[in-house]
Amino acid sequence: MRGLKFALVAGVAAVTLSACADRYQMASDAEPSGSSFTRELYKGYVGLSGDEKGEQDWADSNLFADKALAAADGKAVAPEEVANWDLDAEFVDDLSSAHDRLASALANGAANVAPTSAASAQVMFDCWIQEQEENIQPDHIAACRDGFLAAMAKVDAAMAPKPKAPAPAPAPAAAPEPYAIYFDFDSDVLTVDAQAEVSVIVAAVKKHSPSKVIVAGHTDTAGSSEYNQNLANRRAAAVVSALESHGVAASIVQSQGVGENAPAVDTGDGISEFRNRRVIVTLVK
């Protein structure tokens, strides 16, 4: 690296070997502290230092040992600068682009968002640039480059903006309360007010699309029970006819006569009461 590893002379080779071995050992024996990111950097750089030591590349082993020691102290060690390496010109652009991609991710918080992947990307970048400078082991170069690209893909995925959750579907509108249509005494004819209420009901049917429209005819207690049952049936039929004439489908309309059996106001028998002379229309979702 930087040409210095080739500057060793025979007279100091043994001393250098001992010093570098000690440097690697110091890094290996360190107890890392700091963030998840710096701890992962530490592990990666110790590994690189050991690899280079095994190849007797003392300069690069020492470089990575120093970076491991700094990371062990909790320092966010920077990736290698392309300009500091003696690269063949054909490799500079790819490594510069890779460095910029990594540096941008780190500047935008990758060390916090994806500490393991970010640390792996940095270690693999440094591995790549070191192997590329030597340019003698294509399989090592490819392994470091591919490791960098795989780690960066994970970083990019973690850093990508999360898609917004779709807005919840609006809750279906609740069916309206039952409608009451009132009748004159002993009558099944719709009054003006009753016809207006029918129009309101028709609009509600169009809005809510109910599965059923239940029409229930009622009477007060004046008159016999049998007569009132018949009157209740006629009142319900009058409302059904009005609804269907305004476009409400006959298939969803159910009609029933309740007679005097379920008064709105409890009056006892034989009492004329306006509030009991009614048809109740219920929309069922």
Lowest mean pLDDT across 94-98, 170-174, 261-265: 170-174
Identify the pLDDT of residue 256. Answer: 96
Identify the pLDDT of residue 7. Answer: 37
Identify the pLDDT of residue 15. Answer: 41
Domains of the chain by residue range: 4-159, 179-284
Confidence bin at 170 (pLDDT 50/70/90): confident
Architecture of the CATH domain 179-284:
2-Layer Sandwich (3.30)
Q: Averaged over 140-153, what is the pLDDT?
A: 98
Confidence bin at 76 (pLDDT 50/70/90): confident
Q: Averaged over 47-70, what is the pLDDT?
A: 96
Identify the pLDDT of residue 174. Answer: 77
**Closest of 239, 198, 196 to residue 217, by C-alpha:** 239
Q: Averaged over 245-264, what is the pLDDT?
A: 96
Confidence bin at 21 (pLDDT 50/70/90): low
